[in-house]
Structure 1
């Protein structure tokens, strides 16, 4: 086994060597976006499914779609039964729990900071009243709908009138990744009014100041204020230049 390291600028998408089908097959677009909001705000996430493969692929998809942010908390895509006590970890986490373990585990109660996602049933429980800002939620849902369900998005088109000849094809993983990447960067840009940067001892320092939060649209204040204080954003801002942040990837060969 050999370990290699490489750096990748934040304006480039991470290379996805897996598809996003499992995430979008298991959850509706509405639930995908709500789960994405939970991930952005670093909630405690328990994914439940009857397939180990689905648990792994969905967990990896959620991490990848955060780019250029990085999930820096506890991450175990398939949690062994022997580590079930970790479900009560006080810090944010992403755990994948096989459905057969649920009855044998002391599951945390869904709350404002913990979410149980049943991938077999397309359901999210807990997490509080958290959603993406309304305008962004609508934009992302429309863009993803066109990509994930093109046969429905263009159903009234004369060019597609030949019924029965819809080729659904594979889910456009790269295009979906670009949608999330674009919106994450736009969200980060919207946080800039509340970030003061200056040089100290030759290093770039970023300080969060909520005094300018009045510049945000009223329906985004709650979400942006919460996101501004996440570890992912803090790590992003801690780089010498956040717009040139480089993510270190580890490849095992």
Structure 2
């Protein structure tokens, strides 16, 4: 079900792009108004990496109080709720995937 939700939210091109970024160990920040989508996308990316395993920080729902990881000089997969007003200050240097679903 999570993979179907991810595919529906991202489309095939964006999912392949996100997989490429994960395999290249880039900083990936996902944001959405629907917090359940953050976990669905992050889990799908990690599952699709098989037989590889994501070894870097993985925070599918990162509260802004603990968002120091988003400034780390290492790759990560993190999700932030779009309703949090200050999430935009973490965009610099990160690849941001906006999950807009109808």
Rounded Cα–Cα distance in structure 1 between residues aligned with 2:65 and 2:36: 19
Q: 1:86 aligns with which of 58, 69, 73?
A: 69
Cα displacement (A) at 1:107: 1.6
Q: 1:53 aligns with which of 36, 55, 62?
A: 36
Rounded Cα–Cα distance in structure 2 between residues aligned with 1:33 and 1:120: 17
Alignment partner, residue 86 of structure 2: 104
Alignment of 1:26 onto 2:9: yes
Equivalent residues of 2:2, 2:41 under 8 A apart: no
Trace 1:171-182 onto structure 2 (pairs within 5 A): none
Trace 1:137-176 onto structure 2 (pairs within 5 A): none
Q: 1:119 aligns with which of 96, 99, 102?
A: 99
Structure 1 unaligned residues grouped into runs of 5+: 1-17, 122-253
- Structure of greater Rg: 1
Alignment partner, residue 36 of structure 1: 19
Cα displacement (A) at 1:19: 3.1
Rounded Cα–Cα distance in structure 2 between residues aligned with 1:76 and 1:84: 10
Rounded Cα–Cα distance in structure 1 between residues aligned with 2:99 and 2:34: 9
- TM-score w.r.t. the length of structure 1 is 0.38
Rounded Cα–Cα distance in structure 2 between residues aligned with 1:109 and 1:25: 27
Alignment partner, residue 63 of structure 1: 46
Q: CA RMSD in A?
A: 1.4
Cα displacement (A) at 1:85: 2.3
Structure scoring higher RCO (CA < 8 A, sep ≥ 6) equals: 2
Deviations 1:190-220 (A, max 9, x none): xxxxxxxxxxxxxxxxxxxxxxxxxxxxxxx
Displaced runs of 4 or more, over 3 A:
none
- TM-score w.r.t. the length of structure 2 is 0.90
